[in-house]
Amino acid sequence: MKSVRAYRYRWLILVSLMLLVLSVDLHWMALAPVVRAADIFYHGQFDPSSFVNVDFLALVYLIVFVVMSIPASFFIEKFGITVRLRIAAAMVVVGSIGKWLYAADFASVIGFQILLAFARPLIFNGITTVTMRWFPLRDRGFASGMVAFSQYLALGLVMVFSPLFVGTDFGAGDYGTGIDGMMQVYGIVCAAMALVAGLLIREQPPTPASFEPAVSLNFRSSYKNMFRNRSLLGLLAVFSFGWGYFINLAIKIDGVGALVGIEDSNALLGVVLFSGGIAGALAIPAISDRVRRRRRIMVVCGIGAICGGLPLTFPSFFSFWVLSPQVVAFVGAGILGFFLMGAGPLGLQYAAELSRPVPETATQSLFSACSSFVCVFMVLFATVGGGAYLRLELLLIHFLAVGGVFLLSAIKESPTIVTEDERLQAAVKKEIVHLE
C-alpha cells in the first residue's frame, strides 16, 4: 500500500467550486420562470418575435459553451487552475454587479449576461482536474456529486425565488414589476459568492492527494476512438436529444405554462419538473447499479419521459373527472422530470463504460458540447414568432422520442458495468490516507 495525505483545505476548495457554480448558474435562467412578466418590464426595448428577446438571456449560455468549450480547455492547460478560476470569478463579479446596476436596460443586461456566459466554460471544464488534484480517491465521488448538485440547486432556486421578487399575478397592477429588485439580490449574492471562491481557490496541495496515475488526455486519439464506436454514437444522439429537451423545457417553462392555461408566471410547473428530476437523479442510477443493467433502464426512462411529456404538452386530452388540464400538466411535469433528468447521470455513466479506455473527461466533454448544440436549435425553433411554434415543437419532440427509444434498444449493453463506487473501492484499498 501507498500512503497519501488529505488536507483539510480540500473542503474549502470544494466550497469554492460549489460557490462558483451557484454564482454563474443562478444567472443562467434567472428570468426563465417569469418570461411573460419580464416582457412587460422590458416592453419596447426589443422585438418579441426576434431571437434577441428574454429567452436569449438563457440561450446565450448554451451558444457560448458550445463555441468556447475547447478554447477553455486549452486555456486551463496553459495557465492553470488558480489563474483560470480567479479570472472566471472576476467575470462573475463584474457581470453580476453590471446586471444589477443596469437592470432596467435590456441591451446592457444582454452584454453582462454574455460576459457571465464566457465564465461558465472556464469553471465547468476544469472541475474534474481540481477534484483529482485535491481529493483522495475515497472523496472524489462525493466532491463531484456535490458540484453537480450545485448546478441542479441553482436551476431549482431560480424556479422558486424569481417569482417571489417579481409581480407575476396576471392582471394585477404590479404585473411585470420587481425585475430590478430581483437583479439586485442576485447580483449582490452571486458577486459575493464568486469573490469568496476566488480568494479560496488554490492550485494544488503540497503533496499529491492520490497515487492513482493520471490518464493523459489526447484529444485526437480519444475522439477518433469515440467516433468509431457505433453504440456510443447512438447513445450520444439520444442523450443530446433528451438533455436538450430538458434544458429547452427549463428555458421555456413560462411559455409552456401559458400553453397549458396557467395565467400567472409563478414557475410552479418548473418547481414540479425539477423536484421530479432531483428525485430521478437520485433513484434511477441507483436502481441501474442494483439490477446491473444500463440499456434496459435507459429504455424505461425514454418510455417514462414520453408518458410524462404527452400530458404536459396536451393536458386537455388527458383530463377527466376531477383532473383539470392544469393538474394533468403538473403530474406530467413531475413524471417527465423524474425520468428525463434521472437518465442524465445514468447516461453519462453508460457512456463512460461504452467508451473505455477513452478517459471519462473526454466522453463527458463530448456529450456536454453536443447536448448544448442540440438545445440551441431547440430553443431557437421555440423562439420563432414569439413562441408560436412551441406546441408544434413539443409534438415533434415526442415523435422523435419514440425513435430514440428504438435506437436505445439497439445499443449494446455496457461491457463492464463497473460503477464509480466499485472502481473507487478497489482503488481505495491500495492507499492509506493520512488526514491533516
Average pLDDT value for the chain:
83
Please, which pLDDT band fits residue 417 given cuts at 50, 70 and 90? low
Say which residues have a Cβ less than 8 Å from residue 320's Cβ, sequence separation at least 6. Answer: none
- Grid coordinates representing 133 are 488534484
Final residue belonging to a domain, choices 188, 209, 230:
209
Final residue belonging to a domain, choices 175, 209, 243:
209
- 434: helix, strand or coil: strand
> Where would I find the H helices in 292-383?
295-313, 315-318, 325-355, 360-383
Q: Is residue 41 over pLDDT 70? A: yes
Please, which pLDDT band fits residue 425 given cuts at 50, 70 and 90? low
What is the average pLDDT across 118-129? 83
Residue 59 structural domain: 1-209
Domain shared by 6 and 37, yes or no? yes
Final residue belonging to a domain, choices 176, 209, 242:
209
Query: Which range scores top for mean pLDDT: 227-231, 260-264, 308-312?
Result: 308-312
What pLDDT digit, counting tens, does each position of 130-152 carry? 877 888 766 766 777 788 788 88
Lowest mean pLDDT among 37-41, 90-94, 272-276, 379-383: 379-383
- Dihedral of CA atoms 131, 138, 196, 28 in degrees, nearest 10, equals 60
Domain shared by 205 and 224, yes or no? no
Q: Is residue 357 over pLDDT 80? A: no
Domain shared by 199 and 324, yes or no? no
Q: Is residue 217 over pLDDT 60? A: no
Please, which pLDDT band fits residue 287 given cuts at 50, 70 and 90? confident
CATH number of the domain that residue 340 is part of: 1.20.1250.20
Q: How many domains are there within the chain?
A: 2
Look at 82 and 430; give whichever has higher pLDDT.
Answer: 82
- Grid coordinates representing 149 are 448538485
The pLDDT, as a whole number, for residue 324 is 81
Q: Is residue 402 over pLDDT 60? A: yes
What pLDDT digit, counting tens, does each position of 183-212 carry? 999 999 999 999 999 999 988 887 776 665
Type of residue found at 416: T
Ramachandran bin of 387, using left for φ above 0, alpha for ψ from -120 to 50, beta for the remaining angles: left
Please, which pLDDT band fits residue 27 given cuts at 50, 70 and 90? very high
Interhelix angle 325-355/230-251, nearest 10 degrees:
150
Domain shared by 305 and 388, yes or no? yes
Domain shared by 196 and 253, yes or no? no
Please, which pLDDT band fits residue 291 given cuts at 50, 70 and 90? confident
Provide the CA 164 distance to its chain's centre, in angstroms.
23
Q: Is residue 219 over pLDDT 70? A: no
Confidence (pTM): 0.82
Q: How many percent of the chain have pLDDT more than 70?
A: 88
- Grid coordinates representing 226 are 469515440
Residues 362, 270: contact at Cβ < 8 Å?
no
What are the DSSP calls for 188-223, one per residue?
HHHHHHHHHHHHH--S--SS-S--SPPPP--HHHHH
Domain shared by 176 and 246, yes or no? no
Domain shared by 265 and 224, yes or no? yes
Domain shared by 355 and 422, yes or no? yes
The pLDDT, as a whole number, for residue 134 is 83
Domain shared by 420 and 369, yes or no? yes
